[in-house]
């Protein structure tokens, strides 16, 4: 019975970790997937408490990683866009366009369309705004390209940070090894061979060597 319960706890933990990994895909359309992961971990702790595993230090590290993911996602996109000449308005329009594009194209290509739609939306949003601001076509194209690349790199960074959160969670919630079976009573353990038997073995060894 104990072995069955232990196998069941392994299965539940495995399914939960897979669920967290799937939730990370919501980072592609710009949704707060890492925070959703933390919310699910909080529900896990409430329903399935394991003292000493999901402690205060775990939450400090997990929340810190989630904040780092937000900073990287926005910072990389802004820096890359500005490097290619994008304005603040164009970069912001690229962020909005990425969300819209990911939502529109999400049903296509088994979910891969969300990533392609986000990149195309970031490029198109920035391009249209830069053109409306009266910038030359080539400069607008360069700015849109930088915003698109920044969006891709920012999403990769945020997904990587989310993966670290999932790995940290998996390490904390994974069931430990089953408790060892009780030892038999001392009187049932095999007794050591007598000293005389050991001496006979040594004597035979010398005789045949």
Cα angle 93-28-66, degrees, rounded to a multiple of 5: 95
Residue with tokens 């960074």: 157
pLDDT tens digits, one per residue of 55-76: 888 899 999 999 999 898 888 8
Q: Is residue 28 packed enough to be buried (19+ CB in 10 Å), middle (13-18) or exposed (0-12)?
A: buried
| C-alpha span between 151 and 197 (Å, rounded) | 78
Kindly report the pTM of this predicted structure: 0.72
Show the tokens assigned to 38. 């933390």
pLDDT of residue 204: 41
Whether residue 2 contacts residue 178, with contact meaning beta carbons closer than 8 Å, is answered with yes
DSSP 193-207: PPHHHHHHHHHHHHH
Interhelix angle 137-173/88-105, rounded to 10 degrees, is 60
- Residue range 147-204, pLDDT digits in tens: 889 888 988 999 999 999 999 998 888 766 655 445 455 555 455 444 444 454 444 4
């Amino acid at each position: 019975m104990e072995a069955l319960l232990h196998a069941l706890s392994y299965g539940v933990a495995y399914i939960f970790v897979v669920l967290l990994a799937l939730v990370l895909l919501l980072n592609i359309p710009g949704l707060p997937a890492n925070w959703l992961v933390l919310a699910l971990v909080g529900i896990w702790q409430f329903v399935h408490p394991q003292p000493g595993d999901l402690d205060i230090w775990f939450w400090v590290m997990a929340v810190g990683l989630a904040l780092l993911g937000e900073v990287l996602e926005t910072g990389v996109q802004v820096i890359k866009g500005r490097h290619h000449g994008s304005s603040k308005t164009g970069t912001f329009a690229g962020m909005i366009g990425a969300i819209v594009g990911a939502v529109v194209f999400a049903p296509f290509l088994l979910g891969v369309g969300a990533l392609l739609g986000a990149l195309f939306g970031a490029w198109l949003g920035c391009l249209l705004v830069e053109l409306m601001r009266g910038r030359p076509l080539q400069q607008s194209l360069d700015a849109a390209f930088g915003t698109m690349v920044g969006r891709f790199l920012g999403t990769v960074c945020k997904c990587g940070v989310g993966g670290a959160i999932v790995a940290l969670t998996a390490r904390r919630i994974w069931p430990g090894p089953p408790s060892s079976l009780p030892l038999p009573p001392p009187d049932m353990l095999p007794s050591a061979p007598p000293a005389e038997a050991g001496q006979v073995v040594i004597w035979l060894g010398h005789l045949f060597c």
